[in-house]
Amino acid sequence: MKSRSGTRRPNPYYQGPVSDHFDGAIFFNPGGVAPGNVRELLKWRLANKPAQWPKQWPSSFHDADPAERVDGDGLTVTMIGHATLLIQTAGLNMLTDPVWSDRVSPLSFAGPKRVNSPGIAKEKLPPVDIVLLSHNHYDHLDLPTLAWLVARDDPLIVTPLGNDTIVRARVPAARFAVGDWGDIAEIGKEVRIHFEPVHHWSARGVRDRRMALWAGFVVQTPAGRILHVGDTGFHEGRNFTAAAEKHGAFRLAILPIGAYEPRWFMEPHHMNPDEAVRAFKLANAAHALGHHWGTFQLTNEAIDAPLLALEEALATHDVDPARFPALRPGQTLNIPLT
């Protein structure tokens, strides 16, 4: 990124060697598509009318009371909302992109607002050992929630390059395992977390676009492998094919299915449900869970559109719907071994 004087603005989050996805100042998707510019953003906002979401859309599964721990070959996942899920296996409690705030925005009084309460109330959340933090968009990196979790549980935050700098500025006591694509975080209890490429981008404001890395995670456990993707475009399925070739079969793939309209703007960086089903098949996963829908309105589709589109996509691709449900807040699933 360049300033008005034409000189490149220094990266405030990360300094490191040039790579195939980092040019010394910004990160990028190799062979991919850069995020839309301000002109395209304004075109979307002015020319496309979003569907009207209800102000409240409560879940029938609200107020879950999860187990303290899940051991052995058990694997349990509880939806909290949007991209926040509690994964329990191998005696560990892992949270993905934890957000308990009412809004996902730099402003406390404006921006996308929660339409259903978190599926697990704070007082019922079991001790959190690991946080998987995929990237720095506000619907994934919520500093008030992270501050609360660190004060209560002191979890290890596993996150790609640069995001630790953002969190440390607000939560200096936070512990991190920071990695680049291809790195591995050794957790213990036979658990390893692999940082894997996804096709996305990052920003907290208008001056720091793509200055912190984004990633998906492969969680290798005694109960099987889990592929978790916070946000990604389909990108011709390249990253899902590569994950299957590198890691083998997955017991579970956690895949985003929402925030995808209009396609001319969102397609490079957010999958729609049909692409998510194709990704599930390419990743060689036995089961999948759909997330990133039905809690915060970020894009144009109706609140239940991802659910309906997923049902159609599963039929189109001949996938048993029981293998790929879309979770509602508070819904808990025990993932079968096969």
Percent of the chain with pLDDT over 70: 98
Q: Which of 107, 104, 125 is nearest to 115 (CA)?
A: 104
* pLDDT band (50, 70, 90) for residue 5: very low
Does this model's pTM top 0.85? My answer is yes
Pairing of strands 75-81, 84-89: antiparallel
Q: Yes or no: say if 41 and 79 are a contact pair by the CB < 8 Å rule.
A: no
Instruction: Give mean pLDDT, residues 167-195.
Output: 96
- Condensed to tens digits (0 to 9), the pLDDT of residues 245-303 reads 999 999 999 999 999 999 999 999 999 999 999 999 999 999 999 999 999 999 999 99
CB burial of residue 45 (10 Å; 0-12, 13-18, 19+): exposed
Q: What structural domains and CATH numbers belong to the chain?
A: 57-322+330-334 (3.60.15.10)
**What is the C-alpha to C-alpha distance for residues 108 and 198, in angstroms, rounded to an integer?**
29
Give the tokens for residue 132: 């998987």
pLDDT of residue 206: 87
* pLDDT band (50, 70, 90) for residue 47: confident
pLDDT of residue 17: 97
Measured between its terminal Cα atoms, the distance across the chain in Å is 47
Burial 72-102 (b: 16+ CB within 10 A, else e): eebbbbbbbbbbbbbbbbbbbbbbbbbbbbe
pLDDT of residue 4: 36
Distances (CA, A) of 128 to 36, 45, 94, 149: 36, 38, 6, 8
* pLDDT band (50, 70, 90) for residue 329: very high
Percent of the chain with pLDDT over 90: 90
**What is the C-alpha to C-alpha distance for residues 195 and 207, in angstroms, rounded to an integer?**
26
